[in-house]
Amino acid sequence: MERRRIVLVFLAALALCSLVTKNHVVGWSDRSRFATVDALTVERSFAIDGSPFAIHLGDEIHYRGHTYSDKPPLPAILGAGVALLLAPLGVTLRQTPGTAIYLVTLLTVGVWFGIGCCYAYAFQRRLGFELHVATAVAALTGAGTLVLSYAGVFVNHVPCGAAALAGCYHLYPARDRGARDVALGGLFFALAYAFDAAGVIFAIAAAVLLWRSPLRRWVLCAAAGLPIVASQLGFNLLISGSIVPTAFNPVVWGDPSRPLHAASLPVVAIFSPGQYLAIVTNLLVGARGLFSFTPMMVVAGYGFVRMWRMSEPVRVLALAVLATSTAYFLAIVFLQNDTLARNFGERRYVDLFFMLCIALGPALASIRTAPAVISTRLAIAVSVAIAALGTVAPFGGGPGQSGFVFAPAEFAALEHRAPLASAFDILFLIVLIGLVLRLVPLPADGSQAAAASRKRVA
């Protein structure tokens, strides 16, 4: 029965993703990956010199006379596998680009989106929460965060975050954790790194979850992920002459004619305290704000407080997630503060949302007072609406422009071009918000919540 429910969660997540997946490239990031997919399927090479997707591309590097994407190769390798399966059907990136882009994105990023939602559900069950709580957390993870905004484009953040959540699930210090779980945990954390070089920070979560484990489990975890990590390092060496990720390798950005020259070098800029405060504010409540684009994270914050008061394994899990998220946030502030990025919210947060939403279960299971119920429902509804708005144009706007400015403008343009489609989108959003709120296990109204609270206190 439990497996059947997990299958239903996956199918529902994939269906949701199918409604927002794009059939065209929307920026340098996904165009760069599709160039590699095209090169792998046509030329059997990672070099993208001859790919039509490499024209007017910024996310590229030059090494030994060839042009390569600067993106991690794993998403493109998975995409190439899908493209090879589609080719006998007459669907290719060069002959039917719209259909191929849609299917490659859906069957790679969309599948990992579904996997992440399944693990969000399974994690709550492993923590001991009831079916309705686990279902709600899966729905909120998929529909109430910026994961949905980026699940429809060929990005690496969604699979990275899903793999990190899976790694946490298998390394969670439960009584039933055995060698198989430890190996799977190491495998999934290695996949998170292979999807996104910033995923190396998730090693903090793995270390915290394994802290009191015997040495043999540390070795098993590392051994399970080693082949993937070694493959990634070997790829970096092949296309850039260094095992350092291309985004952090100054050699491949040494050509001043390249669009991302200098701007992409990982130089730690020194700012004044006031400037750092502005960066932090921007990343928390501003144009890239964690809480401004996903108000539901306030509920997750309360959930972490609840987790700290629970059993020791749950406290360890909370520490693993919070320590990793803090280190990730500081890396953005000091290494990759990209205030001029043209994307909806802070796309790097997508790596974290799957893990952060673990805390929603403990929060939902303990919220009972009328004000808390009303505030939680409001935060959820607004988060779902914002996430859906982000699907219109996850990449766009002017340098540093807030997604709250360019996304509505993009939707207004869509409404002008296709009023029927935009009307369907609005109807779909209303239905989605209603469905998600219905799944949330909270008292239906304030009077019931207050009565439940009084009864519990009495």
Q: How many residues are recorded in the chain?
A: 458
What's the confidence (pLDDT) of residue 12?
97
Rounded CA gap, 121 and 154, in Å? 24
Q: Could you tell me what percent of the chain has a pLDDT over 70?
A: 91
- DSSP-derived 3-state class of residue 271: coil
pLDDT confidence of residue 175: 65
What is the C-alpha separation between 286 and 280, in angstroms, rounded?
9
3-state secondary structure of 67: strand
Amino acid 275: pLDDT = 84
Residue 447 predicted with pLDDT over 50:
no
The sign one gets for the Cα dihedral 20, 292, 376, 355 is positive
The helix (run of H) or strand (run of E) holding residue 62 is: strand 60-63
pLDDT at 265 over 60: no
For 122-135, b/e burial (b = at least 16 CB within 10 A) is bbbbbbebeeebbb
Q: How far is CA 131 from its chain centroid? A: 24
Residue, of 304 and 240, whose pLDDT is higher: 304
Cα distances (Å, whole numbers) of residue 175 to 172, 230, 235, 318: 9, 31, 38, 17
What is the average per-residue pLDDT within 332-344? 81
Judge contact between 148 and 390, C-beta under 8 A: yes
Confidence band of 418 (pLDDT split at 50, 70, 90): confident
Q: What is the pTM of this model?
A: 0.92
Find the mean pLDDT for residues 243-254. 71
Residue 370 has pLDDT above 80, yes or no: yes
The pair of structure tokens assigned to 21 is 């997946």
pLDDT-derived band of residue 456, with 50, 70 and 90 as boundaries?
A: very low
Domain boundaries, the chain: 2-457
- pLDDT over threshold 80, residue 165: yes
**81-103 pLDDT, tens digit each:** 999 999 999 999 999 999 999 99
pLDDT grade for 322, boundaries at 50, 70 and 90: very high
Distances in Å between the alpha carbon of 155 and those of 10, 105, 106, 277, 346?
19, 9, 11, 29, 13
Q: Do the beta carbons of residue 366 and residue 173 sit within 8 Å?
A: no
